[in-house]
Amino acid sequence: MIVTWALPSPAEDALEVLIAGEWTRFPAWSVKQYSTASYMSPFIHHATVRGLLANTSYEYRISSSSSSSSSSSELSSYVMRTPDDSYPLTVAVLGDHGQTPYSEETIEALGMHQPRPQVTFLVGDLSYADGQGERWDSWESIVEPTFSEMPLLALPGNHEIENAVGEAFEGYRRRYPAPEVASEIVGPGTFAEDTYDNNLTYDYGSSFYSFSVGRAKFLALNTYAEAGEGSRQRAWLERELSCVDRSVTPWVIVGMHAPWYSTNEKHRPELATSRHRNSLEPVLSAAGVSLVLSGHVHAYERSHAVCLDRVGEGPTYVTIGDGGNREALYDAWPYHNDEPWSAFRNGTKYGFGTIEFYNDSVAAWRWLPNEVRGPRDEIFVENRLEPCDEDASLPEIDDCEMDVVAAVEARRSGAREDDDDDDDFVVKKGNIVLAKQVVLAVIIVLALAVSVTAFATLRAAYFDTSDHQHAFLFGATRAAFHVGALELDTFVPDHHRQQEEDPHSPSDHHENKDDATAVLV
Write out the catalytic residue numbers: 267
Query: Alpha carbon of 12 to those of 26, 177, 424, 477: distances in Å?
Result: 11, 20, 59, 20
Between CA 291 and CA 341, with CA 392 as vertex, the angle to 5 degrees is: 40
CA atoms within 13 Å, Cβ hemisphere of 389? 16
What residues pair up with 378 in beta bridges, in sequence order? Answer: 366, 519
- Cα separation, 106 vs 349, in Å, equals 11
With beta carbons less than 8 A apart as the criterion, state whether 95 and 110 touch. no
Contact between residue 200 and residue 184 where contact means Cβ atoms under 8 Å apart: no
Contact 261, 302 (CB under 8 A): no
The counts of H helices and E strands in the chain are 7, 29
In contact, 302 and 367? CB cutoff 8 Å: yes
Q: Are strands 191-192 and 342-346 parallel, antiparallel or unpaired?
A: unpaired
The closest alpha carbon to 71, from 116, 12, 119, belongs to 12
CB atoms inside a 10 Å sphere around CB 281: 20
